[in-house]
Structure 1
Amino acid sequence: MKKITVENVVRTFSLKIVAGESKLQKVITQSRVHRPGLEFVGHFDFFPTERVQILGKKEITYLHKLSKEERKIRIGNIVKYHPPCFIVTAGEEGLTYLTHHCIQEGIPLLVTKEPESTSEFITKLDAYLVKELAPEIAVHGVCLNVSGIGILLRGQSGVGKSETAHTLIRRGHRLVADDIVVLKKLSAQTILGTHDEKTREFLALRSIGLLNVVRLYGRKAFQDETRIALEINLTKWEKDALYNDLDQEFHHTDFMGVKIPSIEIQLQPGRDVAGLIEAAANNWYLRQQGYIAAEEFMSRIEAENASK
């Protein structure tokens, strides 16, 4: 199971540390946060104790209205479960009582530097946690964003993946990762492609060497991540291995339980492989919109036959 620490969250969101500074190495293992509403009124049957606890204006206002003794009981009932941390989005005024409990139990108490919408902060933090804690694997290949569509380019070493990627970059598309592509499973339907930091912005070309695509072609040549929509396998040319069917059905490749559509493009001198990849990406997009060229073609044939 992947883990991140409270300190990672503090740095990412520039949070102010009110209490528990020595406990910032506490581990976060859950990718969703929790607002303790029912718990403050005594219902703990489904209390997700391993989640980050968020206190917004609603929760803080409720606590302020309680008597000193009642507030002590309500907060004490929650802190005894030792969640990873509390994050307050409604400012830090009047939090002395909460600070005291967090110091006693060794729980980090954090505050956003500027009071902000609790729902907006939760959306940002949830997205961060989902991405950071997502199951991931590394695969050999090249990841690109072609016309807004995430492409995972696969094939044997030396087949020409990086060279093809370079042509696509020069045509205005974007590199995400070369050689080692990190795939993260964000949901049952979503695989995110990214780099492993070491190879960020780099493209390796045989006979040329290592290129920094941002230095060569500007910021538009690179992006950090993309949702993988299509896998394209580059293979060596085999005579009579391809069929000129009107509509090629997608095969699928399974990555961590997520099935990604996959097609094969064979390589041959003079073949515009980059152009074929652009066509494949745009054709995939049209299919998502419900348009299939072969169906329109057949409907024209049927209409012509019916008119005879």
Structure 2
Amino acid sequence: MKAVTVKDLVERFSLQILAGSIHLDRLITKSRAYRPGLEFVGYFEFFSHSNVHVLGRKEITYLHKLSDEERNDRIGNIVKYHPPCFIVTRSQDEGLKYLIKYCEEEGIPLLLTSETTSKFIDLVDNFLAKTLAPEMTIHGVCVNVSGIGIIIRGKSGVGKSETAHTLIQRGHRLVADDAVVLKKTSPETIIGTHDGKTKEFLALRSIGLINVSRLYGRSAFQDETRIVLDIELTKWQDNSLNNELELEPKFTEYMDIQIPHIEIQLQPGRDVAGLVEAAANNWYLRQQGYSAMEEFMKRLEMP
């Protein structure tokens, strides 16, 4: 099971440590932050003890209004479940001696951020969802074409990186070359990114390794993109392609998610990058409910 440590959160979000500094190796295995509420009044039936616990203005104000005895009882009921950590938002560090005391005794890190509660939860959820997401690495190129994430696959030497280079020259963006890391961030979503080592690099045969950001500017690269198309470059086969008005939908499956698949056969003089652009734009129009085939058939029916 993939996990993130509390130390990873501290470093990622520059959190202040109020208690439990020697317990930052505690593991976080759940991808969403949790705000305890009913637990403060003793209801624990659906208590999520494996999540990061965030205490906002509402929770801290409630605790401050309790008597010492009530507050100790409320906090004691929660810390005994040993959540990975508590994070207090809005720099609410005044009057937290009781919370610091319990966290030190139970070995639970107590952290502080200046961010608002809703914004911080969004940031943490996004970070944990991507970091803890199931992932796999495939051989290929990942590009973002007019905001549309595409994987370009094919055998070694078929021209994947060269196609990506042409797309970059036309104003599109590289995400990853050679090793494409795919992350499943939801039951319907695959994110494509790089492995860190190849970030911004594109390998071109006869030229060598280039840094696209240095060569074409920062707009030539982006860190990640949602994958919506899988394009495979293959060698040309005579009589294997017909001018169908509408092709039968095909899909490639990655981690139980089906991604629309298109095969583009290569031949000297064929504008492969242009065909990739056409595929991306056509996919976008279909998402908007437009079908060129349907419009064509309607025109044929007109007197």
Q: TM bucket by the smaller chain?
A: over 0.9
Distance in 1 of aligned mates of 2:2 and 2:268: 45
Which residue type is aligned with residue 6 of structure 1? V
Alignment of 1:191-202 (within 5 A): 191-202=190-201
Q: Does the alignment pair 1:67 with 2:67?
A: yes
Q: Give 1:222's aligned amino acid.
A: F
- Tell me by how many angstroms 1:243 deviates: 1.4
Output aligned runs, 1:214-293, within 5 Å: 214-293=213-292
1:250 is displaced (CA, Å) by: 2.4
Letter in 2 for 1:283: N
Matched, 1:12 2:47: no
Q: Could you say which residue in structure 1 is the equivalent of 2:209?
A: 210
Output the CA distance in 2 between the equivalents of 1:147 and 1:74: 52
Paired AA for residue 126 in structure 2: A
Deviation at 1:200, TM superposition (A): 0.2
Aligned to 1:100: 101
Q: Distance in 2 between matches of 1:165 and 1:177?
A: 10
Q: Does 1:129 align with 2:128?
A: yes
Summarize the alignment of residues 87-166 of structure 1 with structure 2, pairs less than 5 Å apart: 87-90=87-90, 91-112=92-113, 114=114, 116-166=115-165
Paired residue secondary structure (1:172) = coil
| Equivalent position amino acid for 1:61 in 2 | T
Q: Distance in 1 between matches of 2:259 and 2:137?
A: 16
Amino acid in the other structure paired with 2:182:
L
Question: Deviation of residue 117 (structure 1)?
Answer: 2.4
For 1:52 and 1:148, the matched residues in 2 are separated by 33
SS in 2 for 1:45: coil
Once the two structures are superposed, residues 60-88 of structure 1 have per-residue CA deviations (whole angstroms, 9 ceiling, x without a partner) of: 11111111011111101110111000000
Q: Quote the offset at 1:14 in angstroms.
A: 1.1
1:121 Cα deviation from its structure 2 partner: 1.2
SS at match of 1:186: strand
Gaps of at least 5 residues in structure 2 are none
Q: Which residue type is aligned with residue 182 of structure 1?
A: V
- Is the deviation greater in 195-204 or in 88-97? 88-97
CA distance in 2, matches of 1:195, 1:248: 31
Paired residue secondary structure (2:144): strand
What is the alpha-carbon distance in structure 2 between the residues aligned to residue 99 and residue 28 of structure 1? 20
- 2:186 aligns to what SS in structure 1? coil
1:206-262 Cα shifts (integer Å, max 9, x gaps): 111111101110001000000001000000000011110011232011100111000
Moved more, 89-98 or 186-195: 89-98
CA distance in 1, matches of 2:94, 2:244: 69
2:79 corresponds to? 79
Q: By how many angstroms is 1:135 displaced?
A: 0.3
Residues in 2 aligned to 1:140 and 1:250: alpha-carbon distance in whole angstroms: 23
Q: Which runs of 4+ in 1 moved over 2 A?
A: none
The aligned residue for residue 171 of structure 2 is 172
Q: Distance in 2 between matches of 1:266 and 1:64?
A: 68
> What amino acid does structure 2 have at the position aligned with 1:129?
L
Q: What is the CA–CA distance in structure 2 between the aligned matches of 1:164 and 1:297, rounded to whole Å?
A: 31
Separation in 1, partners of 2:263, 2:214: 32
Q: Unaligned regions of 5+ residues in structure 1, if any? A: none
